[in-house]
Structure 1
Amino acid sequence: MKTLVLGIGNTLLTDEGIGIHVLQALEPELANWSDVTLLDGGTLSFTLAGPIEEADALIVVDAANIKSKPGDWTLLEGEEMDAFLMSNRKASVHEVGLTDLRAIAILAGHWPEKRAMLAIQPQTIDWGEHPTPAVATAISPACTAIRDLIRTWHHVA
């Protein structure tokens, strides 16, 4: 099963770049996992439609307003992810783009059945190359949740 882990964000805007920071933390371990691709999606573009359509499973990591404390995170799977994207269009700078990419994949006939979004509550979105301390604490547990989800999907112990 081809799994795409897509980190979203702008690493020049503090907590906005958390998706990329999580991806970078995952890279040393997951880079060697067969059938797992880590992709820096930056601030999104329609060029990501192809990799999403080619994946059997998709995990998106992004800063999003989950109406919680900075650094809190949640893992939204399947239709729960879709509902979040469709009902919270303004919860993150990128979710309009994710909604568009979802629509493209559905029209092309391939929105991965196995899909999830790991959303992390930002504290600050302002100039800066590092996440705030509160949001940086989410990196390790987010990585663990992603590894566990991939293992579950791949039925690997």
Structure 2
Amino acid sequence: MSNVVNNSETLILGIGNTLLTDEGAGIHALNHLQSACSDIWPDMRPDTHPDTPNLNFIDGGTLSFTLAVWIEDCTDLIVFDATELSLPAGTVSTFVGTEMDNFLGTTKRSAHEVGLIDLMDIARLTGHLPERRALIGIQPDKMTWGMEPTAAVQNALDEAVAEAVKLIKQWQKVNIDQEVSAA
């Protein structure tokens, strides 16, 4: 049994609570990327946006087990989240593939009832772990009541989006190369 799926869909998942300033960093990054997509991929048509080029944007909120289905159905997964990196506020770190798995497995890093590691474990156990996966973590500054991120996190959103775009383009090239090889 294969532990990866192969349908060349990219799921962009933002997680967090936008009522708690920097805890909502993942959702803010997701929205930032989604609004930037028409500039990045100018051939996106309004009638297909945001699913072109094979992108699905999901606001995962504070996570629930229902997200496991989305994760199991994608080939490529990019997750934005506020992440305790023990680095200065606003630092962006990207963990790809097994780096992501190892990072998630080191400690319980989620304030959410269902952790991202739980969702990844479900996908792994059902044999549907995304072939390519990455966590783009943003070090929070404060998690207090408020709907806007702190300046440090707000300033980090462009870098987080640039990391996601780089991965999407890299993974799409791999998908195209695989299609050409198979032909």
**Do both share a fold (TM > 0.5)?**
yes
Q: Which amino acid aligns with 2:11?
A: L
Provide structure 1 residue ranges, at least 5 long, that are not aligned to the other structure: none
Going from structure 1 to structure 2, the CA distance change for 1:78 and 1:95 (only over 3 Å counts) comes to farther
Provide structure 2 residue ranges, at least 5 long, that are not aligned to the other structure: 1-7, 38-49, 175-183
Q: Which amino acid aligns with 1:93?
A: A
Q: Which amino acid aligns with 1:8?
A: I
Equivalent in the alignment of 2:85: 66
Q: CA RMSD in A?
A: 1.5
Query: For residues 90-105 of structure 1, what are the structure 2 equivalents within 5 Å?
Result: 91-94=109-112, 97-105=115-123
CA shift for structure 1 position 119? 0.5
Structure 1 residues 75-115: Cα deviation after superposition (integer angstroms, max 9, x where no partner): 000000000000021x3314961111111111111111200
Matched, 1:52 2:71: yes
* From 30, 38, 49, the counterpart of 2:57: 38
TM-score, normalised via structure 1 length: 0.94
Give the greater-gyration-radius structure (CA): 2
- Percent identity over the alignment? 48
Distance 1:36 1:111 in 2: 17
Deviating 4+ runs (over 4 angstroms): none
Number of residue pairs aligned between Structure 1 and Structure 2 = 155
Distance 2:66 2:75 in 1: 18
Distance 2:104 2:71 in 1: 16
Higher deviation after alignment, 93-102 or 58-67: 93-102
Q: Which amino acid aligns with 1:69?
A: P
